[in-house]
Amino acid sequence: MGKLVIDGGNKISGEIGVQGAKNAVLPILAATVMADGVCTLKNCPYLRDVDKTDLVLERLGCRVHRAGNTVTVDTRGMCDCKICEDLMREMRSSIIFLGAIISRCKKAVVSMPGGCPIGLRPIDLHLKALRELGVDIQEEHGYIKCSTDKIVGGNIHLDFPSVGATENAMLAAVCAEGFTTITNAAREPEIVDLGNFLNCMGAKVRGMGGSVIKIEGVSKLHGAEYTIMPDRIVAATYLAASAITGGEICLKNVNPRDMVAMLHVLLDMGVQLRIEKDKIIQKAPKKLESIHIVRTMPYPGFPTDIQSPFMALATVARGTSIFIENIFENRFQHVDELTRMGADIKVEGRSAVVRGVNALQGANVVARELRGGAALVVAALAANGTTTIGGTEFIDRGYENIEKYLLECGAKIRRE
């Protein structure tokens, strides 16, 4: 396990090309198992979770090859329908393979998933959706065993617009007999990206980005070439890193229309933004203003994944900010570490009150989950003195070479 060592107080200014989206590439990689042929995915980021997903594919019998940011998957030799327990424990998103494997093999066996310890993320919605498509599901001794003679289209209503459940339902339904309607579907841009990829493979999916998705089942899917969307959470993290240090930054390869809620918060904090088609140019003020209230919500609301990096911004803003976490009940694990750096934060239940201080101080801190780790990096960039951040394996799950990009923009950062 490595550490990031950051000497704070340097402006983050320059230009960054944003990586492909973690939350888009993982379900798209899972979807490749349904192809009768070869899939070529471009703009795939170098991430621990991508490496683990590639390993899942290889253990299922697929051939995976990476050349730069392009990953090629040949699933014609797939010979297994079980994902081993060690991989499921390491990466919660591996549950997304469930719908894809069932679609191809009509059976699947997976253990209960793991991932970042940010609170309960029950998969009952996933299983309920699959049952609506005619899948028999048995839960035995920590394993989920699925089987069906055939997948039949149906009407699926999600009690909550879960991204993972929407994706699993889409994956299982694209080759089902008949039509499937998913209501109260998740509307995230990553859902749109998955639907676009499936359509490139020959699926017939409509309505992605809205609350109702309609799918006409097809007999089979073919290989395809596809470019993964930019990562909106990574983009917002780099904007936060520049804003907290008073820098000027230009982000390339972004979709600003996917980031409206986050950009509005930054505007409220006093930054200047110039938005172009695939570019965001930001200039930070000398002193950030506080955020009145931020409530995390499903898209198009403020995303839970950027709550912690933006809380780091609020620690040095003028005034008091309030964060209300509506998605995960254990997503304030970064608070104690920020407090070690001199932040003034009080937590009660799912609410955190942040009173801005004049400056943070370098300290030894530990990342306990992915986005909380990013928050510590953001805070360390502005802190007086040196900060050492342990738990970099969490940060590496979602940020490609974070120290490289920040170093190129003026940070004093190294990995040990």
> Of the residues 192, 227, 262, which one is the last residue of a structural domain?
227
- Say what the pLDDT of residue 319 is: 97
Rounded CA-CA distance 251/240 in Å is 12
Q: Same domain, yes or no, for 208 and 234? A: no
Mark the binding-site residues, compressed into ranges.
22-23, 92, 121-125, 305, 327
Average the pLDDT over 392-397 and give the result: 95
pLDDT tops 70 at residue 69: yes
Average the pLDDT over 26-48 and give the result: 96
Q: With contact defined as beta carbons under 8 Å apart, do 290 and 317 qualify?
A: yes
Q: With contact defined as beta carbons under 8 Å apart, do 19 and 203 qualify?
A: no
Q: Which of 307, 296, 288 is nearest to 374 (CA)?
A: 307
Please give the tally of structural domains in the chain. Answer: 2
Q: Same domain, yes or no, for 190 and 239? A: no
Output the domain CATH number for residue 253.
3.65.10.10
Q: What's the pLDDT tens digit per position in 183-239?
A: 999 999 999 999 999 999 999 999 999 999 999 999 999 999 999 999 999 999 999
The residue from 39, 44, 105, 116 that is catalytic is: 116
Q: Same domain, yes or no, for 200 and 314? A: no
Q: What's the pLDDT tens digit per position in 296-349?
A: 999 999 999 999 999 999 999 999 999 999 998 778 999 999 999 999 999 999
Which contacts qualify for 50-56: CB closer than 8 Å, 24 or more apart?
A: 50/22, 50/25, 50/26, 52/87, 52/90, 52/91, 52/94, 53/25, 53/26, 53/29, 53/91, 53/93, 53/94, 54/29, 55/87, 56/83, 56/87, 56/94, 56/97
Q: Same domain, yes or no, for 332 and 216? A: no
Mark the binding-site residues for UDP-N-acetyl-alpha-D-glucosamine, compressed into ranges.
92, 121-125, 305, 327
Active site residue 79: no
* Residue 87: band (very low, low, confident or very high) from pLDDT cuts 50, 70, 90: confident
Beta bridge partners, 213, equal 182
Q: What's the pLDDT tens digit per position in 405-416?
A: 999 999 999 999
Q: Same domain, yes or no, for 29 and 142? A: yes
Q: Which of 225, 211, 188, 192 is nearest to 71 (CA)?
A: 225
Q: Same domain, yes or no, for 243 and 118? A: no
Q: Which helix (H) or strand (E) holds 264?
A: helix 260-268
Average the pLDDT over 59-84 and give the result: 93
Q: Same domain, yes or no, for 188 and 265? A: no
Rounded CA-CA distance 348/354 in Å is 12
Rounded CA-CA distance 314/319 in Å is 9
Q: Same domain, yes or no, for 325 and 313? A: yes
pLDDT tops 50 at residue 100: yes
Q: With contact defined as beta carbons under 8 Å apart, do 21 and 232 qualify?
A: yes
Q: With contact defined as beta carbons under 8 Å apart, do 244 and 316 qualify?
A: yes
pLDDT tops 90 at residue 367: yes
Q: Which of 236, 383, 375 is nearest to 316 (CA)?
A: 383
* Residue 91: band (very low, low, confident or very high) from pLDDT cuts 50, 70, 90: low
Rounded CA-CA distance 399/409 in Å is 16
Rounded CA-CA distance 142/22 in Å is 27
pLDDT tops 70 at residue 92: no
Q: Same domain, yes or no, for 241 and 385? A: yes
- Say what the pLDDT of residue 118 is: 41
Higher pLDDT, 144 or 121: 144
> Of the residues 176, 200, 227, which one is the last residue of a structural domain?
227
Is the pTM higher than 0.85? The answer reads yes
Q: What's the pLDDT tens digit per position in 115-130?
A: 444 444 468 899 999 9
- Say what the pLDDT of residue 237 is: 98
Phi/psi at 274 (5° precision): -120, 120
- Say what the pLDDT of residue 141 is: 77
pLDDT tops 60 at residue 180: yes
Of the ranges 1-5, 37-41, 94-98, 140-144, the best mean pLDDT one: 37-41
Q: Same domain, yes or no, for 176 and 251? A: no
- Say what the pLDDT of residue 117 is: 45
Q: Same domain, yes or no, for 101 and 159? A: yes
- The overall average pLDDT reported for the chain is 94
Q: What's the pLDDT tens digit per position in 243-297?
A: 999 999 999 999 999 999 999 999 999 999 999 999 999 999 999 999 989 999 9
pLDDT > 90 fraction of the chain, expressed in percent and rounded: 88
Count the neighbouring beta carbons within 10 Å of the beta carbon of residue 124: 10
Q: Same domain, yes or no, for 257 and 399? A: yes
Q: Which of 271, 291, 274 is nearest to 283 (CA)?
A: 271
Identify the domain containing residue 274 by its residue range. Answer: 4-19+230-415
> Of the residues 180, 200, 227, which one is the last residue of a structural domain?
227
Phi/psi at 294 (5° precision): -120, 125
Average the pLDDT over 396-405 and give the result: 96
Q: What's the pLDDT tens digit per position in 149-159?
A: 999 999 999 99
